[in-house]
């Protein structure tokens, strides 16, 4: 059956990193990262992009309705609503989760995995993050680019995210931990919640992969 997976994790917990790995192992899976979608809107200077820029710089969540609409449009555009997909960074609030449920109807989320990474580990990682406009993410220590500060695939320059400064990271972490309990309860009540944990993505990946496979078989 199709896997409809939500990755729930703090900023810097490895959602993007683990998504890339999972896509390599499960090629028919398609991922949507709301953060990447918003950054593309910003880069294209669209009206949503201008709004997103202000919210993201402040480390604030964008309005629930807007985000749910954006994900629905993306699922439709890629024609994957009844196929296997992975959502990275959405939903983040119970209201987003409800909106998603309403929009998915019979294709409801069948696995939500919380990535439990200690906050002190996360702060160090984010300071060393560099990324490419495609969403590919690097870390100067953990997975450095082959050529310093250049994307492995295109050779284009990497940049640091404007919301990766310590003050904004603190706000993003606070918001995440405020939303975690309610959204966790929501998905526990639907019987689809699971949790994996560890200090590195190498420790977490096999746990996540096992869970994902169990839904596909
Ligand atoms: P984003 O873009 O979704 P966040 O804050 O949820 O942003 P982020 O920062 O993208 O999440 P991540 O994807 O969980 O983190 O982590 P990652 O990039 O894979 O890994 C972080 C770093 O650690 C990388 O450098 C990686 O190489 C390294 N790393 C990974 N594993 C290891 C390891 O084992 N060891 C070491 N040493 N390093 C490792 O959202 C951005 C903003 O968009 C808006 C909000 O404003 C949000 O703040 N937004 C939404 N607003 C409302 N609703 C939504 N649903 C929204 N979605 C986005
Ligand atoms: Mg990410």
CATH number of the domain within which 99 lies: 3.40.50.300
Q: Is 93 annotated as a binding residue?
A: no
Say how far apart CA 157 and CA 145 lie, in whole Å.
Answer: 10
Taking alpha carbons only, the member of 29, 5, 3, 33 closest to residue 196 is 5
Is 15 assigned a catalytic role? yes
Q: Grade residue 8 by pLDDT with cuts at 50, 70 and 90.
A: very high
176-188 residue pLDDT tens: 999 999 999 999 9
Is 129 assigned a catalytic role? yes
Is 190 assigned a catalytic role? no
Distance 173 CA to ligand 2 centre (A): 13
Q: Is 13 annotated as a binding residue?
A: yes
- The pLDDT assigned to 217 comes to 74
- The pLDDT assigned to 203 comes to 98
Q: Is 187 annotated as a binding residue?
A: no
Residue of 35, 68, 139 best suited for mutating to test ligand 1, as the one with most atoms within 8 Å of CB: 35
45-99 residue pLDDT tens: 999 999 999 999 999 999 999 999 999 999 999 999 999 999 999 999 999 999 9
Question: What is the 8-class DSSP label of residue 195?
Answer: E
Please tell me which residue in 4, 15, 125, 136 is annotated as part of the active site.
15
Q: Please give the tally of structural domains in the chain.
A: 1
131-176 residue pLDDT tens: 999 999 999 999 999 999 999 999 999 999 999 999 999 999 999 9
- The pLDDT assigned to 24 comes to 97
Is 170 assigned a catalytic role? no
Does 45 or 124 have the greater pLDDT score? 45
Burial class (CB in 10 A: 0-12, 13-18, 19+), 117: buried
Say how far apart CA 7 and CA 116 lie, in whole Å.
Answer: 11
Distance 12 CA to ligand 2 centre (A): 7
Residues in the chain: 217
Question: What is the 8-class DSSP label of residue 155?
Answer: -
Omega of the bond leading into 112 within 30 degrees of 0 (cis): no
Reply yes or no on whether the pLDDT at 14 is more than 90.
Answer: yes
Residue of 7, 16, 98, 161 best suited for mutating to test ligand 1, as the one with most atoms within 8 Å of CB: 16
Calculate ∠ Cα 154-169-127, nearest 5°. 50
Please tell me which residue in 129, 146, 170, 210 is annotated as part of the active site.
129
Is 161 assigned a catalytic role? yes
Say how far apart CA 156 and CA 154 lie, in whole Å.
Answer: 5
Looking at the CA of 35, which ligand is closest?
1
CA 1 centroid distance within chain:
23
Q: Is 103 annotated as a binding residue?
A: no
What percentage of the chain reaches a pLDDT higher than 90?
Answer: 97
Rounding to the nearest 10 degrees, give the CA dihedral for residues 210, 211, 212, 215. Answer: 120
Provide the token pair at 97: 């989760």
What 3-state class would DSSP assign to 134? Answer: coil
The whole domain housing 72 covers 4-216
CA 129 centroid distance within chain:
15
Predicted model pTM: 0.97
188-208 residue pLDDT tens: 999 999 999 999 999 999 999
Q: What is the mean pLDDT of residues 120-141?
A: 93
Does 124 or 60 have the greater pLDDT score? 60
């Amino acid at each position: 059956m199709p896997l409809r997976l939500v990755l729930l994790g703090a900023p810097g917990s490895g959602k993007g990193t683990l998504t890339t790995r999972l896509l390599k192992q499960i090629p028919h899976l398609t991922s949507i990262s709301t953060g990447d979608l918003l950054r593309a809107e910003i880069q294209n200077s669209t009206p949503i992009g201008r709004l997103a820029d202000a919210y993201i710089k402040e480390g604030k969540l964008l309005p629930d309705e807007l985000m749910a609409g954006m994900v629905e449009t993306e699922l439709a555009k890629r024609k994957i609503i009844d196929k296997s997909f992975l959502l990275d960074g959405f939903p983040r609030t119970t209201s987003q989760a409800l909106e998603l449920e309403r929009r998915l109807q019979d294709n409801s989320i069948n696995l939500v995995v919380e990535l439990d990474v200690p906050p002190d580990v996360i702060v160090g990682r984010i300071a060393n993050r560099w990324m490419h406009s495609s969403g590919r993410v690097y870390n100067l220590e953990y997975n450095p680019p082959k050529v310093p500060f250049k994307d492995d695939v295109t050779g284009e320059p990497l940049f640091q995210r404007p919301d990766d400064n310590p003050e904004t990271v603190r706000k993003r972490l606070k918001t995440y931990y405020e939303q975690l309990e309610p959204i966790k309860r929501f998905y526990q009540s639907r019987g689809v919640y699971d949790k994996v944990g560890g200090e590195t993505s190498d420790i977490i990946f096999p746990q996540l992969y096992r869970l994902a496979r169990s839904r596909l078989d």
